[in-house]
């Protein structure tokens, strides 16, 4: 019948349209079939093996960062993270040490042979920050700060791009495209939970976003188990699920003494918990 014919054409049109769209994107798997591999100090995100980024929520002092770096180094890992520019809901919460924090990170990283990841929040700081950092992180609140994305697209440094709190998978992919369209294709996508009505966790870890992102793009995808759950007791189970579903890496927060941390004290691991995480997740053979 005519109606049936119309429906077939309609479906074909729909698929055509979708194809058009994803073909256009540089980050799309349609554009490039093989995985992009982002090499951070020898940790090759996207090579099929899991890689890890640990460190304190915020840089508080040289000693604090050095203590964590020692733990990371001893476990044979290669990357440390720490926040120097902290986007905080209230202007009266601790805002981070800024460039002083980046200097601490760099000094420690050099001493321990680690690569450094830290969040940058202002387009004007990107170029200068690139001197201190091995990887620039763009946080969830800035996922659609397009000026920052453009600036990140113009440096020659790997970028960890976190998913916005209410970003769809499609919004997220387009945010990555902003970076790639300016020339920088070294992008690691990071699922970190989305905002839903559920309150038993800080956010809802959208675990199936991992295989979807890996299907639709050629970029490595990691999972931040700290911010997605907001609960120390869920870090290990969430990390296991993330690896099982195909994540290329895990990010989690570690602090020498979480109880006195200047931010996120409820969700960072202490060193004993870090040891447990290493033995149950990182060193586990599957």
- Round to whole Å and give the CA distance between 199 and 103: 37
**Residue 74 DSSP SS3:** helix
Contact status: 13 vs a copy of itself (CB under 8 A)? yes
As measured in angstroms, the least distance from the Cβ of 6 to a copy of itself is 5
Supply the minimum distance, in Å, between the C-beta of residue 152 and a copy of itself. Answer: 12
Main-chain phi, psi angles of 186, to 5 degrees: -85, 80
Residue 14 is a binding residue for a copy of itself (CB under 8 A): yes
Residues numbered 89 to 128 that lie near a copy of itself (CB under 8 A) are 89-92, 121-124
User: Footprint of a copy of itself on residues 195-234 (CB under 8 A)?
Assistant: 195-201, 204-212, 215, 228-229, 233-234
Q: Is 19 in the site for a copy of itself (CB under 8 A)?
A: no
Per-residue interface string for the shown chain with a copy of itself, residues 152-171, x marking contact by CB under 8 A: -------------xx-xxxx
- SS3 category, 207: coil
Helix axes 99-112, 62-74, angle to 10 degrees: 30
Question: Which position among 132, 178, 274, 277 is part of the footprint of a copy of itself (CB under 8 A)?
Answer: 178
For a copy of itself, how many residues bind (rule: CB under 8 A)? 70
- Alpha-carbon gap, residue 87 to 119, rounded angstroms: 9
Q: Which of 165, 161, 133, 157 is nearest to 149 (CA)?
A: 161
Q: What is the chain's alpha carbon radius of gyration, rounded to the nearest angstrom? A: 19
260 binds a copy of itself (CB under 8 A): no
30 scored as a contact of a copy of itself (CB under 8 A): no
CA distance 114 to 74: 11
Residue 111, Cβ neighbours under 10 Å: how many? 14
Torsions phi, psi for 68 (to 5 deg)? -70, -40
Among 237, 265, 270, 271, interactor with a copy of itself by CB under 8 A: 237
Helix (H, G, I), strand (E, B) or coil at 116: strand
- Positions that interact with a copy of itself (CB under 8 A): 3, 6-7, 9-10, 12-14, 16-17, 24, 87-92, 121-124, 141-142, 144-148, 165-166, 168-171, 174, 177-178, 181, 194-201, 204-212, 215, 228-229, 233-234, 237-238, 240-246, 286
């Amino acid at each position: 019948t005519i109606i049936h014919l119309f429906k077939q054409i309609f479906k074909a049109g729909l698929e055509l349209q979708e194809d058009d769209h994803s073909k256009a994107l540089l980050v799309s798997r349609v554009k490039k079939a093989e995985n992009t591999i982002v090499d951070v100090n020898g940790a090759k995100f996207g090579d099929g093996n899991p890689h890890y980024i640990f460190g304190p929520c915020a840089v508080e002092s040289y000693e604090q960062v050095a203590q964590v770096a020692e733990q990371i180094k001893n476990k044979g890992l290669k990357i440390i993270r720490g926040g120097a520019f902290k986007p905080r809901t209230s202007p009266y919460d601790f805002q981070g040490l800024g460039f002083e924090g980046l200097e601490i990170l760099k000094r420690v990283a050099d001493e321990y042979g680690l690569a450094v990841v830290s969040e940058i929040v202002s387009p004007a700081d990107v170029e200068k920050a690139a001197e201190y950092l091995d990887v620039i992180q763009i946080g969830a609140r800035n996922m659609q700060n397009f000026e920052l994305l453009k600036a990140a697209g113009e440096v020659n440094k790997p970028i960890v791009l976190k998913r916005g709190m209410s970003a769809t998978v499609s919004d997220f992919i387009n945010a990555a495209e902003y970076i790639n369209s300016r020339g920088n294709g070294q992008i690691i996508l990071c699922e970190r939970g989305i905002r839903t009505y559920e309150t038993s966790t800080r956010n809802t870890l959208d675990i199936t976003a991992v295989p979807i992102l890996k299907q639709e793009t050629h970029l490595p995808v990691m999972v931040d188990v700290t911010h997605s759950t907001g609960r120390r007791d869920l870090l290990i189970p969430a990390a296991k699920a993330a690896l099982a579903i195909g994540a290329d890496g895990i990010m989690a927060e570690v602090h020498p003494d979480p109880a006195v941390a200047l931010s996120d004290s409820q969700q960072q691991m202490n060193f004993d918990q870090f040891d447990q995480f290493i033995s149950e997740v990182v060193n586990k053979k599957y």
